[in-house]
Amino acid sequence: MDDFRELDIRRLTTIVAADLAAYSRLIAEDEEGVISRLRIVWSKVVSPLVRDAGGRVVKTMGDGFLAEFPSPIEATRCALAIQEKMATQEAGRAEHNQLCFRIGVHLGDVVAVGDDIFGDAVNVAARLEAISPVGGICISRAMRDQIKGRIDADLNSVGEVSVKNLPDPIEAWVVGEGIVQPGQKNEVAPAVVVLPFDEIGAEDSFFADGIVDEITSALSTASDITVIARQSAFIFKGRVAEVREVGRELGARYVVTGSIRRAGSRVRISVQLSSAKTGANLWSQRYDDDLDDLFELQDRVASQVAGAISPSIRASEIADARAVAPRDRRAYELYMSAFPHFWKHRREENERAIELLSLAIKRDGDNIRAQALRAWAYAQQATYMWNDTPLVSRENAQADAKSAMLSVGDHAPSLVAIAAALGMTGLDHDRAGQLLERALSLDPNSAWGWMRLGWNNVYRKEIAAGLAAFDRAETLSPRDPFFFNFQFGRAYALGLAENYDEAIRLVKLGLTAGPGVTWAYRDLASFCANAGRKEEADDAVAALMQSYPGLTIKRVVDSMPPATHARHQMFIDGLRQAGVPEE
């Protein structure tokens, strides 16, 4: 593997980047079988063919490899040979079970650091790999100029392709047959691995192993991430490894590490989440507790860790998606980019979320996740009085929700979004409740699922169940972007129970937690009026009218969840007492 090597720090070289298509699905279906087959691929296909072509394998990354060659022609012949041998080797398997590479090849300047290579040229090769046909090869214009007429294969132009961090697009070409669609790479959930925890102050590691098992199981219920199996992570037990090395070896984008210290009957559990791409720490938390009931402690810590890690991974994925120019974002990146706009709870931000989600649906007509989240965004648009046609927004929310419901499958966040849209814009709270129960059975650590279950219970006037659900949501995500809505939900439940003083206190807390969420002055005005606190009711109505000039009871009825006027007459009566005009 080390026959070809240069001593120069910077050099011109031919880079071959390869990645296995549908790796996450294949590894989830047959982890041991796929890993065994990959060992054969590395030893019998990739390594000998690269070596015979005068190149070297720079590194393998679990589901792919990076190689470099002194000759562009030999690099291309090697790539063709790898694809041909892979096709022959996998021919006896069903198509959906075959191991197939996408390969990108580029000629460019790199910086060598030890055995590794870095630079824009490596990024270009990786970008070409990302848009390559499955089983095919995509090359740059620089490569095309070097190999044209010198290899026995057609070269077909793809056009210009944008590359992250490069100001200008590059021209791409396909070697032989195959069609690419720039920006439409198959989407896979980001993979996370939970490494064995270090246990300090104990003769055995059964407690640490139990914690890791529980965290792995809890994370496995989240629909937006793929969790590397426990037995694969076990190879790192007792081994010091940098998180980027772990990511490359196991094909993980995120790595969870931790340690446990015991002192008598007390235990301290420290957990960290890191990016396998950059090595940066994304989240960390320490838990101090008693060892009275080990199983209960394992369950509780695992639930809290999973509830915190999932949003942290989502935030990292959003940051990566937003680093791509909007015109170059794939459907998945557009979907992720919509979240920060969605949860800012401002009229213009919600409209931007709808635009991004609509574009994701346009680029991928089967994007059920984007459609489900758009349904919730339309429901917010109606409920929070963010346009002058709330009934149209309500109809859009219902249409998206009912369409997404037909194909949502077991994606828990989308089930929550559909249930939110149905509950906020209609009266079918039984159906919404069923969707939420299904979502929480799939992902019991979904804070948004518990929040929406709380609201759904409140819509049905099941006050105690609603309050318990809001408490559960806060336990799982105490710094959630929807935290103010936990408070509003509790306030509305207590208002229905005619505990107006506590409801008023909680609305004020929610307004402090979510400045700018001015629609909540409806709640404050109604509760203050029902409590006989006229001066405060007048102030709340004044703030409400300042944000929504010309507001009437009719517009409130058209905007708010139908349960407000169909089942909760006290709320509308409170607004009338506060002085909101009828028409």
452 in a structural domain: no
Q: Are residues 335 and 434 in the same domain?
A: yes
- Between CA 59 and CA 66 the distance in angstroms is 6
pLDDT of residue 187: 46
Domain containing residue 369: CATH number:
1.25.40.10
- Between CA 243 and CA 255 the distance in angstroms is 6
555 in a structural domain: yes
Q: Are residues 123 and 204 in the same domain?
A: no
Range in 274-288, 299-313, 534-548 the model is least confident about: 299-313
150 in a structural domain: yes
Q: What is the mean pLDDT of residues 525-554?
A: 94
pTM score of the predicted model: 0.57
pLDDT of residue 184: 40
Contact 39, 122 (CB under 8 A): no
Q: What share of the chain in percent tops pLDDT 90?
A: 42
Q: What is the mean pLDDT of residues 143-169?
A: 75
For residue 185, pLDDT over 50 is answered with: no
For residue 360, pLDDT over 60 is answered with: yes
For residue 482, pLDDT over 90 is answered with: no
Residue 133 pLDDT class (50, 70, 90 cuts): confident
Q: What is the pLDDT of residues 415-440, one digit of tens each?
A: 999 999 999 999 999 999 999 999 88
Q: Are residues 129 and 218 in the same domain?
A: no
Q: Are residues 24 and 159 in the same domain?
A: yes
Number of Cβ atoms within 10 Å of the Cβ of 41? 20
For residue 504, pLDDT over 60 is answered with: yes
Amino acid letter at 392? Answer: V
Q: What is the mean pLDDT of residues 385-398?
A: 94
Reported as type and span, the H/E element at residue 378 is helix 368-383
Q: Are residues 19 and 135 in the same domain?
A: yes
451 in a structural domain: no
Residue 349 pLDDT class (50, 70, 90 cuts): very high
pLDDT of residue 161: 67
Q: Are residues 271 and 342 in the same domain?
A: no
Q: What is the pLDDT of residues 484-503, one digit of tens each?
A: 899 999 999 999 999 999 99
Question: Domain ends where: 301, 320, 339?
Answer: 320
Q: What is the mean pLDDT of residues 165-182?
A: 66
Question: Domain ends where: 444, 478, 498?
Answer: 444
Q: What is the mean pLDDT of residues 85-105?
A: 90
313 in a structural domain: yes
Residue-number span of the structural domain to which 200 is assigned: 191-320
Q: Are residues 230 and 270 in the same domain?
A: yes
For residue 383, pLDDT over 90 is answered with: yes
pLDDT of residue 492: 94
Nearest to 23 by CA among 228, 179, 175: 228
Domain total for the chain?
Answer: 4
Q: Are residues 169 and 27 in the same domain?
A: yes
Q: What is the mean pLDDT of residues 104-120?
A: 87
Q: Are residues 264 and 314 in the same domain?
A: yes
Token code pair at residue 70: 């002194």
pLDDT of residue 245: 83
- Between CA 100 and CA 192 the distance in angstroms is 23
Range in 3-17, 121-135, 298-312 the model is least confident about: 3-17
Residue 566 pLDDT class (50, 70, 90 cuts): confident
464 in a structural domain: no
For residue 117, pLDDT over 50 is answered with: yes
Number of Cβ atoms within 10 Å of the Cβ of 352? 18
For residue 476, pLDDT over 60 is answered with: yes
Amino acid letter at 432? Answer: A
CB burial class (10 A; 0-12, 13-18, 19+) of residue 435?
buried
Q: What is the mean pLDDT of residues 39-46?
A: 93
Residue 336 pLDDT class (50, 70, 90 cuts): confident
Q: Are residues 77 and 119 in the same domain?
A: yes
Work out the widest C-alpha separation in the chain, in whole angstroms: 89
Q: Are residues 209 and 245 in the same domain?
A: yes
- Between CA 42 and CA 390 the distance in angstroms is 59
| Average pLDDT over all residues of the chain | 85
pLDDT of residue 177: 66
For residue 238, pLDDT over 70 is answered with: yes
pLDDT of residue 181: 44
Domain containing residue 245: CATH number:
3.40.50.10070
Domain containing residue 111: CATH number:
3.30.70.1230
Question: Domain ends where: 298, 320, 342?
Answer: 320
For residue 65, pLDDT over 70 is answered with: yes
pLDDT of residue 2: 45
pLDDT of residue 7: 47
**Across 236-245, 274-283, 380-389, 403-412, which has the greatest mean pLDDT?**
380-389
Q: Are residues 238 and 348 in the same domain?
A: no
For residue 18, pLDDT over 60 is answered with: yes
- Between CA 421 and CA 452 the distance in angstroms is 10
1 in a structural domain: no
pLDDT of residue 123: 81
Residue 86 pLDDT class (50, 70, 90 cuts): very high
Residue 283 pLDDT class (50, 70, 90 cuts): confident
Reported as type and span, the H/E element at residue 451 is helix 447-459
182 in a structural domain: no
